[in-house]
Amino acid sequence: MVKIRLKRLGYKKNPTYRIVVIDGRCKREGAPIEELGHYNPKTKEMKLNLASAQEWVKKGAQPTATVVYLMKNCDEEGKLVYNKKETVKLSKKAQAKLQAEKEAQAAAAQAAANEAAAAEENQSEASEANE
């Protein structure tokens, strides 16, 4: 029986996984038939060839419960998307990265607002000087 399952990579206490199609009788780290993508549970990063995975399921491959969950929460680009109803606990590193991205976006928006205000002031001063 052909299975779609996770193949563990990474070092001690820092797992990363490849999503592979493999013969069910082979070892977890055995030679895969096809690699469909990768998943990092600590940073919640994922890349999955969803079309290929669905083709394998149509051919009769049995995905594991974790792979079914990942396929269900995957967008068209193969990235992981979480439902708003579910609470997902991110690692400290992922939380820090998310916070830094939010701060960078806020700073960029503030800078754009300041530039617009300065341009408007300059324009109003120029129109007053012309009168």
CA 13: distance to chain centroid?
21
Domain count, the chain: 2
Q: Are residues 13 and 66 in the same domain?
A: yes
**Would you call 75 exposed, middle or buried from its count of C-beta atoms within 10 A (0-12, 13-18, 19+)?**
exposed
> What is the per-residue pLDDT for 121?
81
Position 84 in a domain: no
Which pLDDT value is given to residue 14?
92
Residues 60 and 100 in one domain: no
User: What's the CATH number where 21 sits?
Assistant: 3.30.1320.10
Decide if 64 contacts 3 (C-beta within 8 A): yes
> Of 88, 48, 98, 37, nearest to 72 (Cα)?
48
Instruction: Give the pLDDT of residue 117.
Output: 85
**pTM: predicted TM-score of the whole model, two decimal places:** 0.59
Report the run of H or E that residue 6 belongs to, with start and end.
strand 2-11
Containing domain of residue 104, as a range? 90-131
Same-domain pairing of 6 and 61: yes
Q: Are 90 and 98 in contact (CB under 8 A)?
A: yes
CB 4 within 8 A of CB 21: yes
Within 8 A by CB and 6+ apart from 78, the residues are 37, 46, 47, 48, 49, 50
pLDDT profile of the chain (131 residues), mean per 10: 92 92 85 90 88 91 91 81 62 87 93 87 74 62
Specify the pLDDT at position 22: 92
State the CB neighbour count (10 A cutoff) for residue 41. Answer: 15
Whether 66 and 122 map to the same domain: the answer is no
